[in-house]
Homo-oligomer: A and B are copies of this chain.
Amino acid sequence: MVRLVPRDTKFYDMFADMASNIVEAAQLLKSILQDFENVEVRTQQLKELEHKGDDMTHGVLVKLHQTFITPFDREDIHQLASAMDDVLDFMHAAGERLVLYKITYAPAAAAELADVILRQARQLEKAVTALDKHDQVIEICVEINRLENEADRIARRALGELFENEKDPINLIKQKELLEVLETATDKAEDAANVLEAVVLKSA
């Protein structure tokens, strides 16, 4: 049978590109938070990845508005692109705080949180290239949510220690915001996973 209106598979490629860009940014952010070397130069690289991600997101949305038949719900394409864009934004925001607030050290929890974001990003990368495999996507979504819970525990413990030990209020403000911004990136990855779960549940 001839498929008269072929569904546009290009969206999948675009999401795969977005995911691998997020993986690259998460690797970079993690390594910055591990050694705090050349922070300004490497945060600039992070900013470039974030700009690249913005262009990718914009590309998905422009394509979405101009495409009549989409491979999955329009609203889900929009929300997935937004959530993946947010992950990158909050990673970039974390890097920016380092420069802006001249942060030269952070508790180990900061690099641990970046590592959680990296692991979530790798799961996202797997999921967007396997959207036809229902069970695999559901498993990935469960894992991304589990990682978000792990991030939550890491951030909570680190914030508790911060309020216990940091007596300089301005340092406390800086470190608190760094930890919160990192933790928010993991929330956004969970949002992306929730959209992916919706996509496979609807097609079941």
Measured CB to CB, the residues of A under 8 A from B are 61-62, 65-66, 75, 96, 100-102, 156, 159-160, 163, 167, 169-170, 172-174, 176, 194, 198, 201-202, 204
> In the assembly, what is the distance between CA of A194 and CA of B65, in Å?
12
Which chain B residues border A169 with CB–CB below 8 Å? 169-170, 173
> In the assembly, what is the distance between CA of A163 and CA of B175, in Å?
13
Can you give 25 A-B contacts (C-beta < 8 A)?
A: A61-B194, A61-B198, A62-B201, A65-B198, A65-B201, A65-B202, A66-B201, A66-B202, A75-B75, A96-B156, A100-B156, A100-B159, A100-B160, A100-B163, A101-B163, A102-B163, A163-B170, A163-B174, A167-B170, A169-B170, A169-B173, A170-B172, A172-B173, A173-B173, A173-B176
> In the assembly, what is the distance between CA of A176 and CA of B65, in Å?
38
> In the assembly, what is the distance between CA of A75 and CA of B78, in Å?
12
A43 to chain B, nearest CB (A): 12
Which chain B residues border A102 with CB–CB below 8 Å? 163
Chain A binding surface, main DSSP class: helix
